[in-house]
Amino acid sequence: MSQETRDKLTPFMADLVWIEHIGARGFASLAAKAPTATIREIYRYFHAEEQKHANAELALMRRWGMLEHGRIPEPNTQVKLAIKVLDTYGDTLPLQGLAALIPLLECALDGALVKFLTDTVEDPLCHEVFRHINSDEARHITVDFEVLDYLGARGWISSISSAAELLDPRVVVGLIVVFAPLINKMRDNIVGMGLQEKKLMNAVRRFEKLGGRGEYTARLASYQALKVMGNMIIDRSHPYHRLLADPMVKITNHVPRFLIDKPQSWVKGLSPKAVA
């Protein structure tokens, strides 16, 4: 790998590792709120598997000489904010919100980011690793949408009352202060590196298509809201960027350190080693 590619890819890989790690933490919250014992058990596995992805990507970074002195890359401010929110509210956020957010992230990771990476890097081991990660991710996405459909099938009364839960200020603030800048920063970084915006579009189309297959998924307010948000994110000319996401990236870059300093110990769980 040339020095140029390495320098270009390092921040991208670091973001990828941290997004997987946050995704893992998201599954831990889902497991705690799972509607049935079986789904809880499945989420416990997904939690572990997402951490496995983060570790595997970290191992690739080490292989490519991207880790300075074997050190885990420092998360950026937006990631730290997401960690803070998950630590503080993760286990109390409404189930259908997280349950719809995670497949959207997975569609984007799986469909756009990882494909971009395998197109850019020729390392055969990298292709092998992401073949495994993708097959996990496909399994996760299938289950995620099954659960959404299950939640939707609980009926209109439940759909409406859980839609009201989404108006919880923690959810609204979480989306505006944490999710919007986190995604926008990553989105712009990767488009700047040469990812075609069309691929991001395909990821959101896939989210819509898979959700559209479920008979009851459409009843979920969280799914509908994220569909709208996903479409705004991919369209760079949408006022969403000018009025909300771009200013939020700027503001969150200056969040005082003491607010986001002490993360919980799961953050230290990353390791590029396969044997312990």
> What gap in Å lies between CA 53 and CA 142, rounded to an integer?
18
Q: How far is the CB of 25 from another protein (least distance, A)?
A: 10
Determine if 32 is a binding residue for another protein (CB under 8 A): yes
Task: Give, as ranges, the residues between 33 and 72 that touch another protein (CB under 8 A).
Answer: 34, 37-38, 40-41, 44-45, 47-49, 51-52, 55-56
> What gap in Å lies between CA 49 and CA 20, rounded to an integer?
9
When CB distances to Fe ion are compared, the closest residue is 53
Determine if 154 is a binding residue for another protein (CB under 8 A): no
74 binds, among Fe ion, another protein, none (CB under 5 to 8 A by kind): none
Determine if 53 is a binding residue for Fe ion (CB under 5 A): yes
Determine if 80 is a binding residue for Fe ion (CB under 5 A): no
171 binds, among Fe ion, another protein, none (CB under 5 to 8 A by kind): none
> What gap in Å lies between CA 222 and CA 220, rounded to an integer?
5
Q: Stretches 69-77, 209-217, 250-258, 265-273: which one binds another protein (CB under 8 A)?
A: 265-273
Determine if 185 is a binding residue for Fe ion (CB under 5 A): no
Query: Count residues contacting another protein (CB under 8 A)?
Result: 25
Q: How far is the CB of 272 from another protein (least distance, A)?
A: 11
Non-local (6+) Cβ contacts of 222 within 8 A are: 94, 96, 97, 99, 100, 101, 163, 166
Cβ-in-10-Å burial (0-12, 13-18, 19+) of 216 comes to middle
Indicate the residue among 84 and 185 with the shorter CB distance to another protein.
84
Determine if 47 is a binding residue for Fe ion (CB under 5 A): no
Determine if 274 is a binding residue for another protein (CB under 8 A): yes
Phi and psi of 57, rounded to 5°? -70, -35
Indicate the residue among 189 and 266 with the shorter CB distance to another protein.
266
275 binds, among Fe ion, another protein, none (CB under 5 to 8 A by kind): another protein
> Taking the mean position of all CA atoms in its chain, how far away is CA 72?
19
What is the number of other CB atoms lying within 10 angstroms of the CB of residue 242? 11
Tokens 């409406």 -> residue: 160
Cβ-in-10-Å burial (0-12, 13-18, 19+) of 145 comes to buried
Determine if 33 is a binding residue for Fe ion (CB under 5 A): no
Q: Tell me if 161 sits within 8 A of 46, measured CB to CB.
A: no
> What gap in Å lies between CA 193 and CA 9, rounded to an integer?
9
* Contacts to another protein by CB under 8 A: 32, 34, 37-38, 40-41, 44-45, 47-49, 51-52, 55-56, 87, 91, 264-266, 271, 273-276
